[in-house]
Structure 1
Amino acid sequence: MKTASNNHDELGKCFVQHLSAMTSDILPKQIDRLWQDIVTRYGEPQRAYHTLNHIEQLLVQFENIKHYLAEPHITALALYYHDVIYDPTRSDNELKSADFATDALSPYLSPEQCQQIYALIMMTANHQIDESIDSVKYSDAAYLLDMDLSILGAPWPTYKQYAKAIRQEYAHVADDNYRDGRTAVLQGLLAHPKLYLTDHYYNQLETQARDNINHELTLLAAL
């Protein structure tokens, strides 16, 4: 069984591989500095769900679907950076994360590559895809967004731990306010015709995700 540190070592190695595949104009010590910045951010004390364990879970899934992606290295880097800035008291975390990624990577990647990563991260704010992008980029974005929401379709015990971790991140919010806010978020998710945009995730997780959300709504209503 892997320890957390081993998992994070593997995450670091994968980060090196993806970034190195996109540019030869970067030194190992520069990649290591970028990775250590990511580790520091995801290790902040206000996080309970949005940690490196979340990124590890996404990268495990990425390995299973990367053959569907047109630009897997771009998508992988977007996964690494999409929650790099996370303050539960703010509503601009995705924007701040996208800016952080661009600032960190722009010395090494092309403007187009940085813009693609920026755009992918920004789509995680409302989990909607910019309809103006071409079909290839649309498909990659759909997989990234589905991976990010895959926790919703996990077995109930795993989902329950996720919901508990989210509550922990919002410990500064009173119970009544949290119940109301979380209920609105979950009801908003249920209002989508489809939670998952790709057939791969829709077929596997849609039914379980809706069951989980309804179960959490029932528990919230009892508070």
Structure 2
Amino acid sequence: MLKQFKELFNRHAALISELRARHEGRPYHNWNHILAILYLASKHPHLINDIEAFFWMAVFHDLIYRSDRQDNEEKSAAAAQESLIALISEARLTLVCLGISATAKHQVPEGLSPAETQDIAFFLDCDLAILGTDSETFSTYDAAIREEYAWVPEPQWRSGRAGVMKNFLGRDPLYFTAEMRKEFEASARYNMKALIKELSA
């Protein structure tokens, strides 16, 4: 993991401990998901312009997570705003909140500087990297998501989940950055097509 990420963990240990505790009990959207994003990002430091903004996007983006609600990203961004307002600059906080909110539709907001655009684009790519992992890891991920949506009846789950996968498949490319496309795009498309076939059986 990047030295700067480790330093931020240490510098804000009390806050991080609180955030980590609020991720407990989730099959997928837990603290391991946050760490996976940061470890993956650490492999491509040249794609990050604002290390601290990226860090806070990652640790706050799923803070509020209820699968039966549609405002998780909005509430997570609001929580970041409240928690970080005294810790980072207004400009950096704005970028953090924009990045968190962008996970709702996984689209980069318009009107940003090239550096800000790249930071959010790479963050969104890291968030969706799980789609392009090996088949076993992808299956484990999908089972965890199903567990988070255990309240949804099977027919509706199959239809809804297939719709999500088809929406992602309709994006060309799926990943914004060339590095992530090279590493994950082909596998992600294979995994999603296989899952759609399985859900339609």
- TM-score, normalization by structure 2: 0.94
How far, CA to CA, are the matches of 1:61 and 1:92 in structure 2? 27
Is 2:180 aligned against 1:204? no
Q: CA deviation at 1:32?
A: 3.0
- Are the aligned partners of 1:15 and 1:77 in contact in 2 as well (CA < 8 Å)? no
The amino acid across from 1:139 in the alignment is: Q
Residue aligning to 2:62: 83
Is 2:172 aligned against 1:182? no
How far, CA to CA, are the matches of 1:188 and 1:155 in structure 2? 21
Is 2:42 aligned against 1:42? no
Sequence identity (%): 32
Residue aligning to 1:63: 42
Residue aligning to 1:24: none
Is 2:91 aligned against 1:112? yes
The amino acid across from 2:56 in the alignment is: L
How far, CA to CA, are the matches of 1:137 and 1:201 in structure 2? 18
Gaps of 5+ in 2: none
Residue aligning to 1:17: 7
- Are the aligned partners of 1:62 and 1:76 in contact in 2 as well (CA < 8 Å)? no
The runs of at least 4 consecutive aligned structure 1 residues that moved more than 4 Å come to 13-16
Is 2:30 aligned against 1:51? yes
Residue aligning to 1:166: 145
How far, CA to CA, are the matches of 1:75 and 1:215 in structure 2? 32
- Are the aligned partners of 1:19 and 1:73 in contact in 2 as well (CA < 8 Å)? no
Task: Report Cα offsets for 1:8-64 as digits up to 9, x if no partner.
Answer: xx99x97662377xxxxxxx6xx3331122111111x3x110011111111111111
The amino acid across from 1:166 in the alignment is: I
- Are the aligned partners of 2:174 and 2:185 in contact in 1 as well (CA < 8 Å)? yes
- Are the aligned partners of 2:57 and 2:99 in contact in 1 as well (CA < 8 Å)? yes
- TM-score, normalization by structure 1: 0.85
Distance 1:81 1:14, change over 3 A: farther
Q: CA deviation at 1:68?
A: 2.2
Q: CA deviation at 1:182?
A: 0.6
How far, CA to CA, are the matches of 1:33 and 1:15 in structure 2? 15
How far, CA to CA, are the matches of 2:41 and 2:5 in structure 1? 13
How far, CA to CA, are the matches of 1:104 and 1:115 in structure 2? 13
Gaps of 5+ in 1: 1-9, 21-27
The CA RMSD over aligned residues, in Å, is: 1.8
Is 2:120 aligned against 1:141? yes
Q: Give the secondary-structure state (helix, strand or coil) at the position aligned to 2:44.
A: helix
Task: Report Cα offsets for 1:172-199 as digits up to 9, x if no partner.
Answer: 0000111111111111111111100000
Residue aligning to 1:5: none
How far, CA to CA, are the matches of 1:204 and 1:63 in structure 2? 15
How many residue pairs were aligned?
A: 201
Residue aligning to 1:7: none
Is 2:195 aligned against 1:216? yes
